Every structure is written in structure tokens, then in C-alpha cells.
Structure 1
């Protein structure tokens, strides 16, 4: 049965680096292996951290990662994740999913209607107050839920920093690795991590992440755009309906 976690991790790692939504594969697998959803949520963070460290190294070696900007925007995201992982709040889950699903479909429309936003770097006037606020809020979401956070980070990075999709992905994986280090620590303290399944899953995630990072750089933003488009259409419709 752990081999199922490894195979699921390969697909999840690939999706997470290319677009997002890999946790929608790994969380059901972990619960099917007998973990409670709370432990599955914590255990999943091991794989997410290691997968994104692999992807970050690949993007950095290809001179794609904008390290300074990635570090700056990771700060508010980490702060938000600390809040999101530490406190319990009441969220109307069905309403939240529908709102996020609508955001995903709007993003899908922009991928087709305004492709230059996603496949070319742009000069944008950066409002750092707005940037820090947005990334703090995304961090709260990631700290609580994680699943689908990549779909929130990508438009934020592309629109607020002006990067095309490959560079956007490079910044995204750096941020996700950073804030999940904090989240994982909190889940470990709370006794919500199964290290055996987490490490097996991580091996799969790292394999998928390595493949995705190399393909992303090799194929370029135009190819990545269609992978992202397909992923967010599926996830968006699922969230809404």
C-alpha cells in the first residue's frame, strides 16, 4: 500500500510544480491508507517541502528563480501560514470552495484571452503594501488547507510581480517550501504527522517535481500555460459543483 503513496506522489509533485492541486490527489491517498484527515494534512507537508526544495534547486540551476523577490514575498506568506496553521476558525467550506472555483475559472479565461500576461515578463509598478497583504492572506489559506494554494499564488505572482509562467512557478515553489517548514513544525508539535508515509510520499513528490521543473524550463511558458489551463478547469469545476 505505501507504493500507492509513491505513485500518487509522482503525479502530485508534477502537478504541484507545473500548476497546483497535487494535494487533491495525495490527501485522499493518505486517508485511504488509514490516516485521519488531520494527520494526512500534516503528513502531506513533508512531501510538499521536499518536492519544492527539489524544484527550487532545479529552477535555480537553470537561472530562472528570482531569489530576491521570492524571499521578499515569502516573508508575509510565512507569517500568514503561521496564523493559518496555529488557530482554528470557522469557515463555510462549501462557500469557500465555490469562491475559489470561480477564481480558478476566471484565471483560466485570462490564460486564453490575455496570454501575454502569462507568457511574457511585464514591467509592473509594484505596490509592496498590496503585495504583502495579498501574500499574507494566501499564507493563511495555505497554512489551513494547502490544497490548491498554487492556483492562488500563480496569479498573485504573475500580476503583482510581472513574471511569465516559468519564473512564476520558480517563485511559487520557493514560497511554498518556505511557509510549509513552519506549518510542518506546528503539525509535528500537535502530533499530526506520520513520518513513514510522509517520507514515502515525498520520494514520489520529489521525482514528479524534478521532472516538472526540467520540463517547465525546457518547454517554456507557452507550453506550461496549457498545462495550467487544463488543471484549473478541472479543479475549478470540481470546486463549484
Structure 2
């Protein structure tokens, strides 16, 4: 597919904004996927192209957080492995399971996360005691959230952040940083599957990838500099918009 120059320019700047938001609180796909579909790209091609450009963003954010020493690689390496496994299973599962079974469940999970975060105002502002071992956490949630990311995707970053804060007791800034490394792992696995399927618009995906890198760099820099309350506000906004998007899709599509 070929597009006019203004379309490439518009999607580039949309990718910048998406990468910026995604680096702070996740949810970048809620911005880029509708934008890709709105310019006439078929849904399956839009999803594949989105994975390409999103991989650039998650890599850039993870690299920036890693250089600042914010990612606990020793703890999350097992999570990266099992997230990749989960993403493979999710990609296969989407061919075998009716997506509506999961689509109806996800909004309720996100609503619970939204309410819990609001009514626990101090959550994520300081380290707390773990409620389970890191190894068990990353094996279980790597498979579950990796599967979901390969299967559907919206809200993946929110699930990771909330689970780390609630069960591992980590500070919200570290949760954001660790989430980007895990997102990158599942993005790469999904991208490989899409490449094998030959569904990617490479020129558009690479142009948007550059935008994602710029936005992700700026967003990750802001996470490093800003207080937790700002990150938490962005997190709640993204979760709320994800809920609205999923409910709208269920009711009107």
C-alpha cells in the first residue's frame, strides 16, 4: 500500500505521541491502531504494522531505563523468558479461541485495577513487602500476561505495572521500567510471527518506528524526572481510556 506524504507525516507524529504516553503508562496501541485503521489499512495489517513500530518504542524506553539503572535485569530475566513463551501461546491461541471470551473479562479486570489504585492512594509511592517470590511471580504472570499480549494486547502494560506494585511491592517508577523490558520481549515475539505472515507495511512501520523512538525517549526521560503522583495520574488516565475503548468495541462492533 502507498500513501500520500501527509499521511506518513501524520502517522509519524501520532507515533511520537503514542511512544511518549506508552513509555510513561502503557496504552500506546490505543492511539496507533485506530490511527492506522482510519487511513484505510485492513485490521490484520494494522496490527502487524503496529507491532513493528511499537517494538522500536519499547526497545528505546527499556534501553533508556536500563542505562539509568532502573531495570532489575537479575529479577526479570525469567519474566522475559516466560513472557516470550506466553506471547507465542497467545498468538497461537487467537487462532483457536473465540476472542470474545477474553474481551468480556478484560474490562472488569481493568475496572478493578482502576478502583484499587484510586482507593489505595499511596500504592506505588514506596517499596512494600513482597506477597510472593519474584521467581514464581514472573513465571506465572509471564505466561498469563504474555499470552494476553499475544492474544489481544490492550492494557498489557497496565496489567504488568499493577501486578508488580501489588504483589512484588516495587516502587511505581521501577514497575514502569521493568514493564518496558517485558513489553519489548512480547513485542519481538509477536513481530516475528507477523513477519512470517508477511502482513507488515515496512516503510510506514519504520517511519512510525522512528517516531516511537523519539516519543519513548522523551516519555522515559519524564518518568525518570517526575514524581510518582504524575506517573500514577497518567496510569489512571490510560487505564480509564482502555476500559472505554474495550467496552465500546464490545457494544458497538
- TM-score, normalised to structure 2, is 0.88
Match of residue 204, structure 2, among 177, 197, 204: 197
Deviation of the 1:57 alpha carbon: 1.7
Correspondence 1:68-107 to 2 at 5 A: 68-87=74-93, 88-93=95-100, 96-107=102-113
CA, structure 1 residues 92+38, in 2 after alignment: closer, same or farther (shift >3 Å)?
closer
Deviations 1:43-69 (A, max 9, x none): 111111111111112112222111112
Any residues of structure 2 matched to 1:14-163 within 5 Å, and which?
14-87=20-93, 88-93=95-100, 96-127=102-133, 128-163=135-170
Q: 1:235 aligns with which of 209, 222, 242?
A: 242
Question: Cα 1:238–1:86, aligned 2, differ >3 Å: closer, same or farther?
Answer: closer
Distance of aligned partners of 1:240 and 1:165 in 2 relative to their CA distance in 1, 3 Å threshold: same
CA contact (8 A) 1:59 1:213 kept: yes
Q: 1:214 — aligned with what?
A: 221
Question: Cα distance, 1:36 vs. partner?
Answer: 1.4
CA offsets per residue over residues 150-200 of structure 1, 9 Å max, x none? Answer: 121111222232212110010010011112211111110111111111111
Runs (4+) of structure 1 exceeding 4 A deviation are none
Kindly tell me the number of residue pairs found equivalent between the two proteins: 240
**1:196-236, Cα deviation, whole Å (9 max, x unpaired):** 11111111111111111011110132210111112212222
Instruction: Quote the Cα distance in structure 1 between the aligned partners of 2:238 and 2:185.
Output: 24
Report SS of the residue matched to 2:174: helix
Establish whether residue 166 from structure 1 lines up as the match of residue 166 from structure 2.
Answer: no
Structure 2 residue runs of 5 or longer lacking an equivalent are 1-6, 249-253
Unpaired stretches in structure 1, ≥5 consecutive residues: none
CA contact (8 A) 1:19 1:228 kept: yes
